[in-house]
Amino acid sequence: MGLERMRNLRECVETVVREGVPGDLMEAGVWRGGGCIYMAAILKTLDVIDRTVWVADSFEGLPKPGGRSGMREADLSDHPYLEVSEEKVRANFARFGLLDADRVRFLKGWFKDTMPTAPVGSLAVLRLDGDLYESTIDVLRPMYPKVSPGGFVVVDDYFSWPGCRKAVDEYREANGIVAEMKRIDWTGAYWRK
């Protein structure tokens, strides 16, 4: 994730806790679980016990690009390196003493299938790491309306994956989102709702 994106994620989580912005935390696209483990650790150090960390991933790698973006995207669906099982991510949480069934919930499956019916109430932090257009838009459509005012949307791949950037830009434009998009580092960006 890199130090700048870790700093940004910590600042987002600490801000919503300090300011009482309601909602849970979600990472959509977790790979080995680093970002959501970090969010769970921050909550633990702040003695926050009334928020859930949602861990959303296929746990099978990336899907094939579906073509909805209208652009050619890299097909990373056959890269075993990107396939990290749910069991491995759970083990990574456990290694840090953070696998708490009451505060860490897993959503397994492709975003197009899991996000529309995910049992998520409100979100204070939504971290997107889906790389592709469809993986990004399939999270934004059902989850952005659940982001509380004052909450944060963090996009890991905004400046590095054209499909991801297109999905975010189209969604923001279609929904009249004018909150400033801020650069985190060479790839990451975020805005506050």
The residue ranges of the chain whose pLDDT is under 70 are: 61-65, 67-82
Angle formed at CA 33 by CA 153 and CA 109, multiple of 5 degrees: 80
Give the model confidence (pLDDT) of 59-68 as tens digits. 886 656 676 6
Q: Domains of the chain: which residue ranges? A: 3-192
CATH hierarchy code of domain 3-192: 3.40.50.150
**Spatial separation of the C-alpha atoms in residues 172 and 178, rounded to whole Å:** 7
Give phi and psi for 149, each to the nearest 5: -55, 135
Q: Are the C-beta atoms of 72 and 145 separated by less than 8 Å?
A: no
